Structure 1
Amino acid sequence: MINDKMGGRPMRRKQKQTKPNGFLYWLVSLVTRLVAKFGFRRRVLRNEIKGKKGPFVVIANHQTKLDFINLFDLAGRPLHFVISESFYSTLPFQKTMDRLGMIPKQQFQTTLTDIRRMKTVVENGGGLVIYPAGLMCEDGLSTPIPAATYRFLAWMKVDVYVARATGTYFVRPKWSKRNRPGRTYMDVYKLFSAQELADMPVEEIREKADQALLFDAYREQEEHKIKYRKNYDLNGLEQVLYMCPHCKTEFSIGVKNHCHLVCANCGFQHTGDVYGFLRNTGKVGEEIRYVSDWSKLIYEELKKKVEDGSENILTCKAEIHMVDHKKKRFVPAGRGNITLSGDCFLIEGEINGEQTSLMIPTNSFASLPFQPGKYLEIQGGDKIYRCYLEHGELVMKFINMIKIYYEISTTVRARF
């Protein structure tokens, strides 16, 4: 048992009840249905879990923070949602979440206890909902899905459904402080039967699951052409699109008059519209219509530098926060240097009044929880270190480098 100084109590929690409170779940379903209708303007295309009896698993894509709202009421029965430990630990109503059957776990880390709890749900005939990507996207592109997900689906030995949300990214982009109401879609359908999974190679499970879950919100928007309120407002997007695609200068992109992304170095300028697309309104450079394509260019440019060794280490000073379990929020715990190098993070500094040097492996991290321009969360065991970087503009570069190292490591493992 580990004593957590931030809360004065052990980190180990009591085992949560496995059966949700039906009446409470029904009440919350009424609320989420209203939010889905008026906040997300949800339209359900298919709903193959409605009235579904017996155990099953739902795998859902993750475009925005409140995606679960669009799925919460669709089965007509209580479902167990797997949620992030960080989100759960900072809520003032954890007991309510427990009574709703929520299962908190560290993102990109799955312990034997986590697996047992999820397995218990289906063994008891329940419905389990997981978001394999673990994080909502920052640029309209899916976060990488951990490779262990596909083996997990095969091991569960129950029917698997997909819940695919479309348009929710534009309602509340990760980089924006603004809600942008507009039409969204939810499509829920069976992907695998239990029998199919029993006979299917893991690689085939991966191919079909990826095809169902992975997305590019901007290319989907090209098909639907939905107007979202003030979708032209690009404030915050400069933290994601931090490199100019024309002159390749980093951290030169700023926002002008809410709707223009401008490079201070070369004058490259793109302007947003109500559909979320970009137009070249400057005098230099080629037009990049999709935010997702601009983000890919930044990723590939950094990947080249990582692979040729010209830039494979990132470091920055940071204020480190940890969860206070009594206050149910992150509070300052110290300061230190954060270094990402290869397959590990190194945190050096004073934490909780003690000089600390922590090395945290990143092999299993497809990404990290973060807020563009502000912080990233490094998870080591049952601890979460929320690091507010002294230079907030580096957050997205850290995240891109984590994704690059994960891509490289999974490619290498796939060869053997």
Structure 2
Amino acid sequence: MKKQPDTTPFDRKRIPPKQNFFMMPLIWAICWFATRSSKLRINKVRMKGLKPPFLVLGTHHAFMDFLVSPLALFPFRANYVSELEGFENYGEWIYRQVGCLGTRKFVNDISLIKNIRNVMLRKGILVLYPEARYANVGTSSELPESVAKLVKYLDVPVVVLNMRGNYLQSPIWNLTMRKEVLLDATITQVFTREEVEKADESEINAKLSEFLAYDEYAWQYETKMAVTYEKRAEGIEKPLYLCPECGKEFCMKTSGADIECTSCGAKRHMTEYGRMVKPDGSEDEFSHIPDWYEYERRCVHEEIGADRYALDMKVRIESLPNAVNFIDLGEGRLVHKKEGFYLTFKDYGKTEPETMFFSSSSMTSIHTEYDYRGKGQCVTLSTVDNTYFIYPLEEGFNATKIQFAVEYFYKLNKKGS
């Protein structure tokens, strides 16, 4: 008999425990061994004498972030905000023991804010990765305005942990470890409590954005850090989905260290220092990978401005209501317009399809995956009590393009409000 899935919502209100004191030596040992070969260097700025409670904002490159952060905070324990996928993958008990607060991405979760406040009231440390997803091409995302509001609400010192090398070592579009990459991290007390009280939200946001900014490919080129992995370009066609020569979408393919357009035949070669060069070795305005990425963003903006952006396709849907299991919801339909997403499907236990609406005005961005657990590209849409993992069943789906559209629609809706 087929086992019935557990549909019980995750307990968002449960106060998170402190990191298990007796597990801390093991956690630090695991982190030390994991980063040893990469010669992790940690630079501390304005950290002398700082005691909890304080808030830590970290850049978000790759899974390695979770191994660097505990070492940067040593000898302190901390709580970490984590998405529910980690709870489901590794088990809720272990995630609770290492101090994780479960939440969903790009939703307004009042229970999470209350629990963050609880960590501060008991004189703890809370680590938050405000980008809420790994870097697509090794550059920082725009900082949500809500972060400055949180800083003012908590009224504690604010620390920024800016990491380098984590993305280059294992980019989200090809997780194979690049063993030559070295790791570097700078942890800085950006605001004392007194400085938080004096600054307004715009000043806080501007300064935090400055300290959280990074460009992995610029850093790689400046430091001449060679990546000799022969297949170093394979998978990068997922974020670099548009040909800069002919402008056609979803026609890029990669092999080894090369990327090629199947429509016009244009080719680029990724050098050992992360530059995209033409077959003759020359560079152009797309040689710096983030510039190519930002060109795609501008194209999406132009497409929306000309009323040519369209997403209406058949999809496969899985839901994650808790830290126990995913639930296969079968086929559905995803439509994306200026006002938001329309997701039509038959929810578990229902007899007829229903349409859920996710407003653009509430989504600063969207969570994207390039090959989630071997199932391919997907995006997720969340309510406070469920997350829907959405996979394409038709051509024309690219998670990066959808992300660009979501971020632009949010700004357009905000401007119009």
TM-score by length of 1: 0.90
Match of 2:359 among 353, 358, 361: 361
State the AA in 2 paired with 1:246: E
Gaps of 5+ in 1: none
Q: Secondary structure at the match of 1:339?
A: strand
- 1:3-32 CA-to-partner distances (Å, cap 9, x unmatched) read xx8414344356144322211123212111
Measure the CA separation in 2 of the matches of 1:117 and 1:229.
44
Q: Secondary structure at the match of 2:44?
A: strand
Tell me the equivalent position of 1:289: 287
Match of 1:377 among 368, 375, 380: 380
Measure the CA separation in 2 of the matches of 1:386 and 1:115.
24
Tell me the equivalent position of 2:347: 351
Q: CA deviation at 1:409?
A: 3.6
Q: CA deviation at 1:283?
A: 10
Match of 2:411 among 393, 407, 412: 407
TM-score by length of 2: 0.90
Q: CA deviation at 1:411?
A: 4.9
Check whether the contact 2:60–2:131 (CA below 8 A) recurs between aligned residues.
yes
Gaps of 5+ in 2: 371-375
Q: 1:267 to 1:409 in 2, by over 3 A?
A: same
Q: CA deviation at 1:329?
A: 4.1
State the AA in 2 paired with 1:26: P
Measure the CA separation in 1 of the matches of 2:314 and 2:274.
34
Q: CA deviation at 1:153?
A: 0.8
Q: CA deviation at 1:49?
A: 4.7
Tell me the equivalent position of 2:400: 396
Check whether the contact 1:255–1:262 (CA below 8 A) recurs between aligned residues.
yes
Q: 1:14 to 1:112 in 2, by over 3 A?
A: closer
- 1:162-215 CA-to-partner distances (Å, cap 9, x unmatched) read 100012111110111311121011000110011111011111111101111122
Is 2:304 aligned against 1:310? no
Is 2:327 aligned against 1:323? no
Measure the CA separation in 1 of the matches of 2:34 and 2:72.
13
Match of 1:261 among 240, 243, 259: 259
State the AA in 2 paired with 1:102: C
- Mapping 1:2-401, distance limit 5 Å: 6-12=5-11, 15-38=14-37, 40-46=38-44, 49=47, 52-75=50-73, 76-88=75-87, 90-181=88-179, 182-230=181-229, 233-256=232-255, 258-281=256-279, 286=284, 288-311=286-309, 313-323=310-320, 325=322, 328-352=324-348, 354=350, 355-372=353-370, 374-391=377-394, 393-401=397-405
Q: Secondary structure at the match of 1:163?
A: strand
Greater mean deviation of Cα atoms: 222-231 or 194-203: 222-231
Q: CA deviation at 1:275?
A: 1.9
State the AA in 1 paired with 2:136: E
Q: Secondary structure at the match of 1:12?
A: coil
- 1:28-64 CA-to-partner distances (Å, cap 9, x unmatched) read 12111211223x4311122655774231111111112
State the AA in 2 paired with 1:385: Y
Check whether the contact 2:31–2:68 (CA below 8 A) recurs between aligned residues.
yes
Percent of aligned positions with the same letter in both sequences?
20
Give the alignment's Cα RMSD to 1 decimal: 2.3
